Copies of this chain bind each other. A is one copy, B any other.
Amino acid sequence: MTTQPLGVGLLGLGTVGTGVARVLLAKRSALEARVGRPVRITCVLVRDLAKPRGVDLGEVRLVTDAQEVIGDPHTEVVVEVIGGEEPARSLIIEAIRQGKHVVTANKEVMAKHGPMILRAAAERGVSVAYEASVGGGIPLIGPFQLDLAANDITSVVGIVNGTTNYILTRMSESGASFADALKEAQDLGYAEPDPTNDVEAWDAAYKLAILASLAFGAPVGPQQVWREGITQVSQRDIQYAAELGYRIKLLAIARLVGGQVEARVHPALVHQGSMLASVDGSFNAVQIEGDLIGTALFYGRGAGSEPTSSAVIADLIALGTSVGRGSLQSQRASVPLRPMQNLQTRYFLRLLTLDRPGVMAAIATVLGDRGISLASVVQKESVVLGDDVPGAEIVLTTHIASEAAVQEAITTLQRMPVVRSIGALYRVFE
């Protein structure tokens, strides 16, 4: 056992950084017993030296120049908890260049630049660990790299954004509109004042890119992820879905189909009673299919200072004890992407039509002609369309159909005079 302390340099002292510092100080003796040597914070990069902090760092230096953290000879591991693409990316690269291990919670940087960063780290003989970048405190990257390593992974399906899951849960429980549920999430601090990153599913797409790259051993970038957010999810759809035995969740799905990767993030219908449907509020879960394990699922808090700190500290322990996780590079340079048009799945479709004889037959014909078979049809009492015209609301679910056929059918339906509007189109997760 060496007595050389494990020197930790912190880049960032926001919510996560403060949490990490607090745990490092409060649990020092337990951590040192686990790592087998002293653990010390060397110095901490902050933006504003004068800002009051929620943690007493004692003698630890606060600095405004990142080089003082990275270049400190006692810094053995750089913990990047700034977030966002720049300057985080450049600082990670600089830390690697200077021969420092890196622990990062940065999903955007790892999703966009992970392959390059891991290659640079391997060349320099250091590790980059990023457990905290996906699923907060839920162990995911560790299990992928070690516990599930004997498996060929065929699919990863997750609820990986707590903000949107909170909004959808509230809409389901309280009957709130999307706008009201978003406002509530903002008031509680679950959603940002500008919620775009969450509700347009960028955050989920970043996380899916990281998970898919790990699962399939080949880089998958966020631009390869088909992405639809939840802003169009209506209370009507949530109610219809519930009547049919489903809940609507924002799913991040990556699957290997015929040697191609299918990667998509969109709202989907999930069977009530399934594990994923039971993931409520701001919780996250990731369901994994492997050839040996079959189905496994990991569930927990996907964000927040303390869960994220738990993951950062786990990475620190791994690095401090030379477990060296995070340094695995992709085994393959690339994997072909499966075009979204080739997707085969079930669909949920809600249409507003004129209330006339023959409408149902016309719609069914459009679908049937394209090989789309109906699994269920619901038409309730008449509704009144915007211009006082009596109308009908028709909700259909299909058996497995191709995305290309469904999109073509939608285009045709939209052009029909009896169809007033396509209220919603969702994919159903089996």
Given contacts A146-B314, A318-B146, contact A23 B306 (CB under 8 A): no
Report yes or no: B142 in contact with A147, Cβ–Cβ below 8 A: yes
Given contacts A142-B143, A296-B300, A300-B296, contact A317 B148 (CB under 8 A): no
Kindly state whether residue A150 has any CB partner on chain B within 8 Å: yes
Report yes or no: B275 in contact with A299, Cβ–Cβ below 8 A: yes
- Identify which of residues 149-182 in chain A touch chain B, using a CB-to-CB cut-off of 8 Å: 149-151
Report yes or no: B293 in contact with A150, Cβ–Cβ below 8 A: no
Report yes or no: B314 in contact with A293, Cβ–Cβ below 8 A: no
Specify the chain B residue showing the minimal Cβ separation from A140. Answer: B147
CB distance from A239 to the nearest CB of B (A): 18
Interface string of A303-333 (1 = CB under 8 A from B): 0001101110110011000110000000100
Given contacts A139-B148, A278-B278, contact A300 B307 (CB under 8 A): no
Report yes or no: A294 in contact with B299, Cβ–Cβ below 8 A: no
Given contacts A292-B306, A292-B310, A299-B275, contact A131 B147 (CB under 8 A): yes
Q: Tell me, in angstroms, the Cα distance from A291 to B314 when the chains sit together.
A: 14
Q: Tell me, in angstroms, the Cα distance from A331 to B323 when the chains sit together.
A: 21
Contact of A142 (CB < 8 Å), options: B142, B291, B301: B142
Interface string of A260-287 (1 = CB under 8 A from B): 0000000000000111011100010000
CB distance from A159 to the nearest CB of B (A): 12
Kindly state whether residue A137 has any CB partner on chain B within 8 Å: yes
Report yes or no: A151 in contact with B310, Cβ–Cβ below 8 A: yes
CB distance from A331 to the nearest CB of B (A): 7
CB distance from A314 to the nearest CB of B (A): 5
Residues of chain B with a CB closer than 8 A to A291's CB = 306
Residues of chain B with a CB closer than 8 A to A313's CB = 149-150, 292
Contact of A293 (CB < 8 Å), options: B34, B148, B307, B331: B307
Specify the chain B residue showing the minimal Cβ separation from A309. Answer: B292
Report yes or no: B310 in contact with A290, Cβ–Cβ below 8 A: yes
Kindly state whether residue A297 has any CB partner on chain B within 8 Å: yes
Q: Tell me, in angstroms, the Cα distance from A274 to B278 when the chains sit together.
A: 6
Q: Tell me, in angstroms, the Cα distance from A309 to B291 when the chains sit together.
A: 11
Contact of A310 (CB < 8 Å), options: B27, B293, B309: B293
Kindly state whether residue A138 has any CB partner on chain B within 8 Å: yes
Q: Tell me, in angstroms, the Cα distance from A143 to B296 when the chains sit together.
A: 14
Q: Tell me, in angstroms, the Cα distance from A290 to B137 when the chains sit together.
A: 10
CB distance from A117 to the nearest CB of B (A): 21
Q: Tell me, in angstroms, the Cα distance from A150 to B150 when the chains sit together.
A: 26
Residues of chain B with a CB closer than 8 A to A300's CB = 293-297
CB distance from A22 to the nearest CB of B (A): 10
Kindly state whether residue A31 has any CB partner on chain B within 8 Å: yes
Given contacts A142-B143, A146-B318, contact A137 B292 (CB under 8 A): yes
- Identify which of residues 237-270 in chain A touch chain B, using a CB-to-CB cut-off of 8 Å: none
Q: Tell me, in angstroms, the Cα distance from A131 to B151 when the chains sit together.
A: 15
Kindly state whether residue A361 has any CB partner on chain B within 8 Å: no
Kindly state whether residue A33 has any CB partner on chain B within 8 Å: yes
Report yes or no: B294 in contact with A307, Cβ–Cβ below 8 A: yes
Given contacts A275-B275, A296-B300, contact A146 B150 (CB under 8 A): no
Report yes or no: A27 in contact with B150, Cβ–Cβ below 8 A: yes
Report yes or no: B317 in contact with A294, Cβ–Cβ below 8 A: no
Q: Tell me, in angstroms, the Cα distance from A297 to B310 when the chains sit together.
A: 15
Specify the chain B residue showing the minimal Cβ separation from A276. Answer: B278
15 intermolecular pairs with C-beta atoms under 8 Å apart: A31-B150, A33-B331, A137-B296, A142-B142, A142-B147, A146-B318, A148-B314, A149-B313, A291-B306, A292-B313, A293-B300, A293-B306, A296-B298, A296-B301, A323-B323
- Nearest 5 interchain pairs by C-beta: A139-B147, A296-B300, A150-B313, A137-B293, A292-B310
Task: Mark A residues whose CB is within 8 Å of B.
Answer: 23, 27, 31, 33-34, 131, 136-139, 142-143, 146-151, 273-275, 277-279, 283, 290-301, 306-307, 309-311, 313-314, 317-318, 322-323, 331
